Structure 1
Amino acid sequence: MPRYEYRCRACGDSFELSRPMSESSAPASCPAGHDDTVKLLSTVAMTGSSGASAPVARPAGGGCCGGGCCA
């Protein structure tokens, strides 16, 4: 189940809730009981565990503009 982070506008505390995606937009009360909360935008970092790095693809055409002017 996804976790969503919220911040209370009344007391300034941040908190997380686990809830189904279908309820992601539903109002949430902070642990102190305040109802004036806002859902925060979260960033997700995914890392691999293989230890090998993927090769970096180089753009064709040579150069920053693709026309070879920066060769």
Structure 2
Amino acid sequence: MPLYEFDCLGCGQSFEKLVRNAEAIKDVVCPVCGQAHVQKKLSTFAANVRGGSSNSTSAAACAPGGT
């Protein structure tokens, strides 16, 4: 089940909710005030990229005079 982020338009609370499918989003209510007037936030995600190097010292070792 995907984890969605929501803002309650009634009390302003931000919260996360596991939602079974896109159809079930309409049934989400705020856990603080119980209102169903919520808005799904635009969520970001992380992605792993293969083949890249996160080691900043690897290029320095190949350079002339590198350590």
- Which is helix-richer, 1 or 2? 2
Q: Summarize the Cα distance change of 1:25–1:35 in structure 2 as closer, same or farther, 3 Å threshold.
A: closer
**What amino acid is aligned across from residue 3 of structure 2 in structure 1?**
R
- Aligned equivalents of 2:46, 2:24: Cα separation in 1: 20
Q: Does 1:5 align with 2:9?
A: no
Gaps of 5+ in 2: 54-67
CA RMSD of aligned residues (A): 2.2
Alignment of 1:1-71 (within 5 A): 1-32=1-32, 33-48=34-49, 52-53=51-52
1:26 aligns to what SS in structure 2? helix
Gaps of 5+ in 1: 55-71
Aligned residues: 52
TM-score (norm 2): 0.60
Contact 2:5 2:16 in 1 (8 A): yes
1:41 aligns to what SS in structure 2? coil
